[in-house]
C-alpha cells in the first residue's frame, strides 16, 4: 500500500520500472532505488526514496553527476544488476565516544549503464543501511573513453516528505570556518520563492524534525579527494521543502568542483534516522563508514586535557600578560600538578611565514623537555599557509624536538585541494608521531578512524566568541550536541570560570567572562566530545576552587556514551563511561528547569559526587553546591537548573 501510494503521487506514469530495496538490520529503515520515467518514451533518471517505520521520509529524489563537456551521468540510465549483502563494522577507536564499535549493516550495490550514446557510460550506487542511518555513494569505474571525472556539480536531492523543522547552520560562502549559530526554522524558509532558486548555503550536519515521522540528520562520511558537501533549498517556491547538494568549488577554478581520476568513489551521503535526536549523539555511523586505521602502532596517541595560554591572554604567575618561555613553564607546572596531560602553546612562538624557526619568545625544545619532566606533553600552534609549504621539513623537526601535537589554524577551505590537505597532514603527522587538531576548519566526517592521530576539529562557534560578544551563550551551548557534535569531535574549548549574568557580561580579551553557571560549564566536559580537550582558563581561576575537582577527574575519551534526555536548543543530558566510572553532564539554555537523571545504566552501586547550581545561581552564577551520595541503578538524581544552569556528576562504581 505504501509503495503504490508513493509511486502514484510522485510519478503518475503508466509503466513503473522495478524497485530495488534495502532494509536496515532492524527493518525500520528502508531505502529504495528505481529509474523514474517522466516520459515513457525516454530513458529514465536514477532516484531513491527512504521510509522509516513504513512512513515516507524522503520522497523520490534524483541522483546524478553533472560533468564538464559531457551529458549528466545518471540522467538517462537503466539498472543493469543489483547485489545485496550483509556486514558489520567492528573495530576499536583509539579515542572517541566509545572504545569498541560493532555496527551491523545491510548493503546494496546497483550497477547502472546508459542505454544509448557513443560511450554508454557505467557507474554504480553503493548503499548501506544501519539501524540508525542509511548512506549511499557514487562509484565510477575506469572505462573506455573516460579516465577522469571533471565534476561541475553533484545533484543529490533530499526531497523531505514534509516541511520539517530544521536546525540549520547558515554559512556566508564556501570559505568560512563553520563558526555560526544553528537556527531553528521550517525547511521551506530557506527557499527564495518566486521561482528563484535559493542562494542560502547550509552546512552539514543539518538536523530535521519531520513531524509524525522521524528525526533526520544529513551529513557525509569518508570525504577523500573530493570536495565537501553543502546543502541548499533550490525549490524557489514558498511550499518547497527539499534540499540539494552543493560541492565546495575549487579555489583555483570556481567553475569546477573537482577533477577525480577513475576509478573513484564519492563520499558517503549519510541520512541519520531515529525516533529521537539523542540517538545520533550515541551513533558511530560516520566512523563506521570510513576505512580502518592506517596507523598500526597507536600507543603514542593519547587523548587528554590541555592547559592553554591564549584564552587568558598569556598571563604569567605575576598576573601580567607575557608570552614567554617562563609563562609556558608556569602553565606546564599547573598542568603537571593537576594531572592534565598537555599544554598548548598558541600563536607567537615562530614567524608566521617560517614554522621551522622559533622567534625567541618561547623556546619550544627547552619547553618540551621541561614539560616532559612534569609528565606533560606540548602541542604547538601553526598557521595553515606555511604548513602547506613546509610540512615535509617541519614535521620531522617537531618530532626531533619531542612535540606531541599540532593545532593547525585558519584552514578555511574544504574544496578538493583543501580536503586533500587534511589527509596529507594526517598521514605525514602520523609518520612523525604527531597528533593533530584542525582549527578554522571543515566539519569532521570520520577521518579519525583511519587516522587516529587526528584528535579534533573546531568548526564551531566556540567559547572564544565570548571575547567578542554574546553569541556564545547557554541557548547555543545546548544546540551544539544535537547539531555540530553529530559530525564528530568538537574543540569548543570549555573551562571558563569567570561566570557572570547577562546583565554583568562584558566581552574582553584578558580574563574574559562567560555566560552560564559554573555547573553548566563543568557539564561541558561530559557533554562535549573532544579527545584533545582544553582547560582554558588561568590557573588562578581553578586552583583552590573545589569545583575544579571535576575537571581534574574527567577523561577526554570514552568507553561508552549514553544520551539521557533533552532536546535541541532546550537542554541536554549525556552520560559517558570510562572504565568503571561514569561522568554525567546536563545543561539548560536560558530557561530554568527541574530535571531527573535515572541511573539505570549503572551496573552496580557506587558513590556520586554531584556538582549542581546553588539556590542563588541565577544571580550569582559562580555559586555551586557539591554533594556526595551513594547511588544504585534504581536511583534518580533530581536537580533544579538555573537559567543557563547545569549539573555535573562523577560516579565511581564499586
pLDDT tens-digit map of 563-602 = 999 999 999 999 999 999 999 999 999 999 999 999 999 9
Q: Is the pLDDT assigned to residue 469 strictly greater than 70?
A: yes
Tell me what pLDDT residue 13 has.
32
For the record, the C-alpha cell of 478 comes out as 545546548
Average pLDDT of the segment spanning 362-384: 98
The predicted model scores a pTM of 0.95
For the record, the C-alpha cell of 572 comes out as 541536554
Average pLDDT of the segment spanning 75-101: 96
Angle, CA of 470, 471 and 472, to the nearest 5°: 90
Q: Is the pLDDT assigned to residue 4 strictly greater than 80?
A: no
Tell me what pLDDT residue 93 has.
98
Rounded CA separation 272/288 (Å): 13
pLDDT tier at 43 (50, 70, 90 boundaries)? confident
- Identify the sign of the CA torsion 510, 513, 514, 517: positive
How confident is the model over 592-641, as pLDDT tens digits?
999 999 999 999 999 999 999 999 999 999 999 999 999 999 999 999 99
Rounded CA separation 114/131 (Å): 33
Measured from the Cβ of residue 199, the count of other Cβ atoms closer than 10 Å reads 9
Rounded CA separation 30/133 (Å): 10
Q: Is the pLDDT assigned to residue 11 strictly greater than 90?
A: no
State percent of the chain over pLDDT 70: 97
Mean pLDDT taken over the chain:
94
pLDDT tier at 12 (50, 70, 90 boundaries)? very low
Average pLDDT of the segment spanning 405-411: 98
Range of weakest confidence among 4-18, 176-190, 212-226, 421-435 = 4-18
How confident is the model over 533-560, as pLDDT tens digits?
999 999 999 999 999 999 999 999 999 9
| DSSP-derived pairing of the beta strands 264-265 and 133-140 | antiparallel
State percent of the chain over pLDDT 90: 91
Rounded CA separation 480/471 (Å): 13
Rounded CA separation 593/403 (Å): 45
pLDDT tier at 645 (50, 70, 90 boundaries)? very high
Range of weakest confidence among 41-45, 84-88, 428-432 = 41-45
How confident is the model over 341-353, as pLDDT tens digits?
999 999 999 988 8
Measured from the Cβ of residue 461, the count of other Cβ atoms closer than 10 Å reads 21
Which residues pair with residue 104 across a beta bridge?
A: 88
Selection from 49, 38, 127 nearest residue 76 by Cα: 38
Phi/psi of residue 2, nearest 5 degrees: -60, -50
Tell me what pLDDT residue 628 has.
98
Q: Is the pLDDT assigned to residue 145 strictly greater than 90?
A: no
Rounded CA separation 357/440 (Å): 23
Q: Is the pLDDT assigned to residue 507 strictly greater than 50?
A: yes
Range of weakest confidence among 93-97, 193-197, 217-221, 372-376 = 193-197
For the chain, list the domains and their CATH numbers: 2-288 (2.70.98.10), 306-553 (3.20.20.70)
Tell me what pLDDT residue 41 has.
67
How confident is the model over 242-298, as pLDDT tens digits?
999 999 999 999 989 999 999 999 999 999 999 999 999 999 999 999 999 999 999
Q: Are 234 and 175 in contact (CB under 8 A)?
A: no
Phi/psi of residue 317, nearest 5 degrees: -65, -20
- Identify the sign of the CA torsion 347, 442, 177, 376: negative
Max CA separation in the chain (angstroms): 82
Q: Is the pLDDT assigned to residue 114 strictly greater than 50?
A: yes
Rounded CA separation 515/496 (Å): 9
Tell me what pLDDT residue 111 has.
96
Torsion of CA 611, 616, 622, 623, to 10 degrees: -50
Tell me what pLDDT residue 90 has.
97
pLDDT tier at 198 (50, 70, 90 boundaries)? confident
Range of weakest confidence among 109-123, 330-344, 481-495 = 109-123
3-state secondary structure 245-277: EEECCCCCCCCCCEEEECCEECCEEEEEEECCC
| 61 Cβ contact partners less than 8 Å away, ≥ 6 residues apart | 47, 48, 49, 156, 157, 158, 159, 242
Amino acid at each position: 500500500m505504501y509503495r503504490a501510494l508513493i509511486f502514484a503521487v510522485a510519478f503518475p506514469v503508466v509503466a513503473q520500472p522495478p524497485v530495488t530495496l534495502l532494509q536496515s538490520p532492524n527493518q525500520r529503515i528502508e531505502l529504495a532505488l528505481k529509474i523514474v520515467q517522466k516520459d515513457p518514451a525516454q530513458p529514465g533518471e536514477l532516484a531513491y526514496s527512504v521510509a522509516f517505520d513504513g512512513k515516507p521520509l524522503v520522497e523520490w529524489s534524483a541522483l546524478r553527476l553533472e560533468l564538464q563537456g559531457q551529458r549528466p551521468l545518471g540522467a538517462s540510465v537503466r539498472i543493469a544488476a543489483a547485489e545485496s549483502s550483509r556486514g558489520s563494522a567492528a573495530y576499536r577507536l583509539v579515542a572517541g565516544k566509545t572504545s569498541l564499535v560493532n555496527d551491523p549493516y545491510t548493503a546494496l550495490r546497483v550497477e547502472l549503464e546508459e542505454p544509448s550514446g557513443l560511450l554508454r557510460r557505467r557507474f554504480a550506487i553503493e548503499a548501506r543501511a544501519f539501524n540508525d542511518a542509511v548512506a549511499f555513494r557514487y562509484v565510477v569505474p575506469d572505462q573506455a573513453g573516460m579516465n577522469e571525472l571533471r565534476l561541475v556539480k553533484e545533484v543529490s536531492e533530499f526531497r523531505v516528505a514534509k516541511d520539517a523543522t530544521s536546525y540549520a547552520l547558515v554559512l556566508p560562502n564556501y570559505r568560512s570556518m563553520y563558526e555560526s549559530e544553528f537556527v531553528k526554522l521550517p525547511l521551506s524558509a530557506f527557499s527564495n520563492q518566486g521561482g528563484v532558486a535559493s542562494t542560502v548555503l547550509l552546512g552539514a550536519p543539518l538536523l530535521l524534525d519531520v513531524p509524525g515521522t522521524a528525526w533526520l540528520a544529513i551529513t557525509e562520511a569518508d570525504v577523500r579527494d573530493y570536495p565537501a558537501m553543502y546543502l541548499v533549498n533550490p525549490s524557489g517556491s514558498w511550499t518547497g521543502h527539499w534540499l540539494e547538494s552543493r560541492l565546495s568549488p575549487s579555489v583555483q577554478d570556481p567553475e569546477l568542483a573537482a577533477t577525480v581520476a577513475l576509478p573513484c568513489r564519492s563520499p558517503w551521503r549519510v541520512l541519520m534516522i531515529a525516533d529521537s535526536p539523542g540517538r545520533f549523539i550515541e551513533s558511530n555511523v560516520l566512523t563506521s563508514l570510513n576505512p580502518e586505521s592506517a596507523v598500526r602502532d597507536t600507543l603514542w596517541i593519547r587523548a587528554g586535557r590541555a592547559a592553554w595560554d591564549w584564552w587568558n591572554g598569556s598571563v604569567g604567575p605575576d598576573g601580567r600578560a607575557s608570552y614567554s618561555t617562563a609563562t609556558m613553564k608556569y602553565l606546564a607546572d599547573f598542568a603537571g600538578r593537576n594531572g592534565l596531560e598537555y599544554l598548548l602553546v598558541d600563536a607567537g612562538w615562530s614567524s608566521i611565514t617560517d614554522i621551522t624557526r622559533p622567534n625567541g619568545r618561547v623556546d619550544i625544545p627547552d619547553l618540551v623537555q621541561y614539560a616532559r619532566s612534569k609528565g606533560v606533553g606540548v602541542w604547538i600552534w601553526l598557521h595553515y599557509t606555511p604548513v602547506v609549504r613546509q610540512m615535509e621539513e617541519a614535521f620531522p623537526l617537531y618530532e626531533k624536538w619531542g612535540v606531541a601535537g599540532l593545532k593547525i589554524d585558519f584552514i578555511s577551505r574544504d574544496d578538493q585541494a583543501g580536503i586533500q590537505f587534511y589527509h596529507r597532514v594526517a598521514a605525514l603527522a602520523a609518520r612523525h608521531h604527531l597528533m593533530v587538531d584542525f582549527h578554522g576548519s571543515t566539519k569532521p566526517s570520520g577521518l579519525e578512524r583511519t587516522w587516529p592521530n587526528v584528535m579534533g576539529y573546531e568548526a564551531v562557534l566556540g567559547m572564544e566568541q565570548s571575547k567578542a560578544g554574546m553569541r556564545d551563550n547557554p541557548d547555543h551551548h545546548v544546540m551544539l550536541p544535537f547539531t555540530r557534535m553529530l559530525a564528530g569531535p568538537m574543540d569548543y574549548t570549555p573551562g571558563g570560570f569567570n561566570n557572570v549574568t547577562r546583565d554583568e557580561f562584558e566581552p574582553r580579551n584578558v580574563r574574559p567572562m562567560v555566560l552560564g553557571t559554573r555547573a553548566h560549564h563543568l557539564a561541558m566536559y561530559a557533554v562535549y566530545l573532544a579527545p584533545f580537550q582544553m582547560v582554558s582558563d588561568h590557573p588562578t581561576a581553578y586552583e583552590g576552587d573545589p569545583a575544579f575537582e571535576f575537571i581534574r577527574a574527567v577523561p577526554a575519551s570514552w568507553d561508552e556514551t549514553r544520551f539521557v534526555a533533552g532536546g535541541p536548543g532546550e537542554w541536554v543530558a549525556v552520560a559517558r563511561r570510562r572504565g568503571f566510572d561514569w561522568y554525567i553532564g546536563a545543561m539548560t539554555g536560558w530557561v530554568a528547569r527541574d530535571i531527573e537523571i535515572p541511573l539505570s545504566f549503572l551496573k552496580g552501586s557506587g558513590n556520586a559526587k554531584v556538582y549542581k547550581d546553588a539556590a542563588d545561581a541565577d544571580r550569582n552564577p559562580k555559586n555551586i553546591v557539591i554533594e556526595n551520595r551513594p547511588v544504585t541503578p534504581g536511583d534518580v538524581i533530581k536537580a533544579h537548573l538555573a537559567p543557563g544552569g547545569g549539573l555535573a556528576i562523577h560516579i565511581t562504581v564499586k
